[in-house]
Chain A
Amino acid sequence: MAAIRELCKSLVQPILAVMIGLLTGAIVIAAVGESVIGTYQEMWKGAFGSFYFFTSTLARATPIMLIALGLALAFRAGVFNLGAEGQMVLGAISATLVAIYLPAPGIVKMLAGLMVGIAVGGLWSLLAGFMEARFRIPLLISTLLFNYIAVLFASYLVTEPFQDRTGSAALAQTLMLDKSAWLPKLFSGMSVHAGFFFAIAAALLLFWVIRFTPFGYEVKMLGQNPLFARYGGINQIKVMLTGMFASGGLAGLAGTVEVFGSHYRFVDGALTVPNFAWTGMMATLLANSHPIGIVFTSILLAAFQTGAMGVERNTEVPLELASVIQAVLILFISAKFSYDWWKKRKAKGGESHGAA
């Protein structure tokens, strides 16, 4: 009973944020001069209106979810990994190149690609962690700046040495992967692919780790009070580095499944333009770093985006509607922080009255 009440309580704030986001969206729609209800109907249709749209939403949610799960682990440990974008891109380009140039059967190419994607994303993230542990370079800064290095380096790789020159148009992209190395689609003709299962599996695994294992406990305590964790014998640096590797690895996996399941080649900008990394961070914040919650918030945020595409196809309201709603969401998620803080302050005040 208490657990259910807890769950409901933790849901109130995100639901409220979503409602207010939609309300603000309504004002924007009204300002454009379109019917609010009609537009939201289009949005719903665009996201969930048919099986095809529904699976497209799930496909879009896949990388968001994987990134969000990685960030959740880092956030819980009190580690601010803002480098998901770079970790995703670097993981994806490495995985793609391995899968293209490794002389092996398709299934081996695919598995090797997935492994390399996780490993490279993880190591790239670990490097920032190491710099923090060894040279006290704040993660917040290093991870953020590492994004530029990774994204631009990948961009160089596909415009210069590994560019696909087989076609007539010299686009910034790699060769196409062998068909045998592609991640299978879950339904033929639909865009959702096996990567979605990886994301769900990762969510369940993370839930288990956080809830039941000593490592999950240590991550949580480190996030709650680092001094207490240190006092209790938790090796702060080990937990931080493990957390960084895991969150980077999941970001790398996100980029890899997106390439292996949707694009089948690394296209410059294909991972950064849709803003998977920052949407993933939003999904984590909205779910308060809860792995199961992230499954839903990732789908929700993906739905806003695919829905907005439907809106743009069928009404005069521009695609940016999704951005407006998301921006308001962020605003109200941060409002949650201050609301919590305010509540805490109030509670503390009450305590000091009581204790004489």
Chain B
Amino acid sequence: MTHRLEMKQMTKKYGEFTANDQVSLTLEAGEVHAIVGENGAGKTTLMRMLYGMEQPTAGEILLNGKPVSFRGPNDAIRNGIGMVHQHFMLFGEFSVAENIVIGYEPKQAGFFRRKEAVEKVSALSEQYRIPINPQARVSTCSVGEQQRVEILKVLYQGADIIVLDEPTAVLTPLEVKDLLQTIRNLAASGKSVILITHKLQEVMEVSDRITVLRGGRVTGTVSRHETNVDDLARLMVGRELEELSQRIPLEGKRLLHVDQVTVREKQTLLDNVSFAVHHGEIVGIAGVSGNGQSELLQVISGLRPVQAGKIHLAGADVTNKSVESIRQAGLAHIPEDRYMWGTAKQESVEENALMGYQRKPDYYRRGVILRDAFRQVVRGWVDRFAIKTGSRQLQELAGNLSGGNLQKLIVARELGQETPLLVAAEPTRGVDIGAMEYIHQALIEKRNSGDGILLVSSELSEILALSDRILVMYKGRIAGELARSEATEEKISVLMAGGNVHGSDQRAV
């Protein structure tokens, strides 16, 4: 029997490093095949070889039984393979239809037939039940719509095999639902879909078969009916996951008080936001990114001024104070973008760890930083969080650490400040399951020791797992508050989309 696609014993080596080690995979017509694995497991490398962006060191690709070799993405597209990248490649100023037909425009005597393009796109949209307005300008489309444009583009290009690279990372929960439906529609009409992801819930919902990669090898290919989330996680991580520590019930005093804070620039970014974080409490802030969470974090940590309102931390007024004085008042901060805010990539692990400690009395005497004493501390962090620093240890450049290890370093640095309040923004974004466990465990321990944590995350599962109270932000406002006991993914999703949850109490402060 011939498969629509078969990848045989694919191996890719970069010097000493083996990114893919004899990975084999088959894909049938009408099948949704998920490829899951932690960061660095080799998912992307495998797909780059399929798409002609990398040449395999060894192995063979068979398309409908015939061996093929692609010299570039154009080859792959011509053979019916299309890829939707995580970052969209669209022209914002052009219409949806124009973006879809790009490169293969309907022409007559050298002229672009815009009307025909719109007709073709409408037909395609109906055929696969992917709703879209062909004449809308792409820059006015939501992220979910833009993704549909990308999918229609590969369909227009004649793809039978559609590769989706982490497609749900940028979507709201409702958009995710739509996307999963679209994927099922595509499969039903005979297309084959490869879904690259690390979200196991979605995998279980939509895929027929699942291939798990770990360390460049296949650790299992299973049918969805024979497996569950726990089994998949075990295959991905290679061990059992540990349960989070119990949360000790605590009734702490008010630690952070944000009172009617408003931030206005060209538009209102934060609109009269009020809430509090108490000692021994994790307050989670959910919301589709871009609804004011970043601004809220920046305001609290002193990186952005407020136009109205007050912020009190541990009893002190820190409104529009400098970062330095707010940190002294008791704030540590895991930033939402670790490369932009959290590190200097060209400096060593040690230098990155030192940020915020260089003038602390323990490590600073007679005008000089006490490097030896501090190095001991950093070594402690490296051990405790199992940070893999590479051969040069503390002198390794931070930019050479993997995302997960760098994140662990940042988390260790900020926890090490031992401040009463920790602002944790996307603390596990892009880190693997192992590192996520460590970080979640550390946050719970900090909470249990009586400190307060403000958690901002776009992962609902993370918010639900950690928070004592959940605030949902929508368009710069707190759209609602849910206690841990009453919070469900559905309720949060509705609030995130701007809806109302019946019975949510408005006890924000």
Contacts and interface: CB of A to CB of B under 8 A. Distances in A.
Nearest to B403: A355
Contacts of A228: 341-344, 355
A225 B397 CA distance: 14
Contact of A231 (B42, B341, B351): B341
Contacts of B52: none
Given A214-B364, A232-B356, A354 B19 contact: yes
Contacts of A352: 44
Interface stretch (A39-47, A163-171, A216-224, A270-278): A216-224
A94 B22 CA distance: 75
B344 A356 contact: no
A230 interface: yes
Given A214-B369, A231-B342, A354 B40 contact: yes
Contact of B54 (A225, A227, A353, A355): A353
B335 interface: yes
Interface in B54-106: 54
A231 B354 CA distance: 13
Interface string A185-203: 0000000000000000000
B368 A354 contact: no
Interface string A233-255: 11100000000000000000000
A225 B352 CA distance: 11
B446 interface: no
B14 to A, nearest CB: 6
Contact of A233 (B327, B335, B364, B402): B327
B340 interface: yes
B263 to A, nearest CB: 17
B54 A212 contact: no
B354 A217 contact: yes
Interface in B158-183: none
B1 to A, nearest CB: 29
A213 B354 contact: no
A221 B347 contact: yes
A13 B354 CA distance: 30
A12 interface: no
A220 B347 CA distance: 9
B351 A221 contact: yes
A221 B344 contact: yes
A230 B44 contact: no
A8 interface: no
A217 B19 CA distance: 37
Contacts of B356: 232-233
Contact of B351 (A214, A217, A356): A217
A224 B324 CA distance: 19
Contacts of A232: 323, 355-356
Contact of B367 (A213, A224, A354): A213
When A and B form their complex, which 3 residue pairs have the shortest distance between CB atoms, in order from nearest? A224-B344, A356-B44, A232-B355
Interface of A: 2, 212-214, 217-218, 220-221, 224-225, 227-235, 350, 352-356
Given A213-B367, A232-B356, A353-B54, 20 more contacts: A2-B392, A212-B368, A213-B368, A218-B358, A221-B344, A224-B346, A227-B340, A227-B341, A230-B323, A231-B301, A231-B335, A231-B355, A233-B322, A233-B324, A353-B45, A355-B39, A355-B402, A356-B37, A356-B42, A356-B45
